[in-house]
């Protein structure tokens, strides 16, 4: 089963996510992929930018049209993150953790990140993954905190190879999600717990409406972060994480 249908990569673009949102708005079918060899204005969650060195990573966005209720769509961030982590390990990157809800963390630093945004009846998922970076390929501000599959011990791979590996793992998880949501897949939740980068750390979660501080203790059945706070356990479904 295939979900992603990558065509020819664009040499350069401001943001694959912006272009893919436009494609989804125009009715692009599920599996449509926008990818580029370089982004000049790549973006992550919130107001974060994303460095996208030319030819060094996979900078992709793709369209999903889930059958599940919209309330469950935020779970797709976790599902894509697990598929990406599995693919990185298959390509030799070593153990990959997930910093809830969307960052992929290797032994040496951050390998990639996931951004999911709704667009009418669709979800557009952006994924930036560092593939072949050496230390000098990162901006000075990121050295020591960012990593790549090559630096983690994997072989040098092309963006298309990465997309194919991701698709193989994501298709299975997405099929399970379509059938019953994340809560129906005990194995997926186990994967999230096994890769729980924030386990037992003191964190602050900031959203538009509030800020919550506590100790990260678990991943809930819907992919939410469970915090132990002064007011008791709280389930957090989204927000900016400071650890």
Q: Roughly how many angstroms between the first and final C-alpha of the chain, as a whole number?
A: 38
Question: Kindly report the CA angle at 14 between 93 and 173, in degrees rounded to 5?
Answer: 40
Separation CA 205–CA 109 (nearest Å): 21
* 8 A C-beta contact, residue 162 and residue 148: no
Handedness of CA 145, 151, 152, 154 (dihedral sign): positive
pLDDT at residue 109, rounded to an integer: 96
pLDDT at residue 36, rounded to an integer: 95
pLDDT at residue 47, rounded to an integer: 61
Locate tokens 């982590």: which residue? 85
Task: Give the residue from 198, 80, 51 showing the smallest Cα distance to 139.
Answer: 51
Block means of pLDDT (10 residues each) for the chain, 243 residues, are: 93 96 98 95 67 90 97 94 96 94 95 96 97 92 91 93 96 92 78 94 88 94 92 90 87
Q: Quick one: fold of 16-193?
A: BirA Bifunctional Protein; domain 2 (3.30.930)
Listing DSSP states for 51-112 in one string gives: ---TTTEEEEEEEE--SS-GGGTTHHHHHHHHHHHHHHHHTT----EEETTTEEE-SSSEEE
pLDDT at residue 46, rounded to an integer: 54
* 8 A C-beta contact, residue 235 and residue 40: no
Question: What residue segments make up the domains of the chain, in order of their start?
Answer: 16-193, 199-242
Burial class (CB in 10 A: 0-12, 13-18, 19+), 172: middle
pLDDT at residue 44, rounded to an integer: 63
The 3-state DSSP composition of the chain as helix, strand, coil percent (nearest 5) reads 30, 30, 40
Task: Kindly give, in sequence order, each residue whose CB lies less than 8 Å from that of residue 229, ignoring residues fewer than 6 positions away.
Answer: 212, 213, 214, 215
pLDDT at residue 142, rounded to an integer: 87
pLDDT at residue 49, rounded to an integer: 65
Phi–psi pair at 38, nearest 5 degrees? -155, 140
199-242 is a CATH 3.40.50.2300 domain: no
């Amino acid at each position: 089963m295939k979900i992603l249908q990558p065509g020819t990569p664009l040499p350069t673009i401001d943001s694959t996510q912006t272009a893919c949102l436009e494609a989804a708005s125009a009715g692009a079918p599920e599996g449509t992929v926008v990818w580029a060899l370089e982004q000049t204005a790549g973006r992550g969650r919130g107001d974060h930018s994303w460095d996208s060195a030319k030819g060094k990573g996979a900078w992709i966005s793709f369209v999903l049209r889930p059958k599940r209720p919209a309330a469950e769509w935020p779970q797709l961030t976790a599902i894509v993150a697990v598929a990406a982590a599995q693919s990185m390990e298959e390509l030799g990157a070593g153990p990959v953790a997930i910093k809830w809800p969307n960052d992929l963390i290797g032994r040496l630093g951050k390998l990639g990140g996931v951004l999911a945004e709704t667009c009418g009846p669709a979800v557009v998922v952006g994924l930036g993954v560092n593939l072949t970076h050496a230390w000098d390929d990162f901006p000075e501000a990121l050295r020591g905190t960012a990593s790549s599959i090559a630096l983690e011990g994997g072989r040098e791979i092309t963006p298309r190879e990465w997309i194919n590996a991701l698709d193989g793992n994501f298709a299975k998880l997405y099929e399970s999600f379509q059938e019953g949501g994340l809560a129906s897949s005990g194995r997926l939740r186990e994967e999230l717990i096994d890769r729980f980068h924030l386990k037992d750390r003191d964190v602050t979660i900031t959203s538009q409406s509030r800020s919550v501080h506590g100790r990260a203790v678990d991943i809930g059945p819907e992919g939410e972060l469970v915090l132990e706070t002064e007011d008791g356990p709280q389930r957090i479904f989204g927000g900016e994480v400071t650890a």
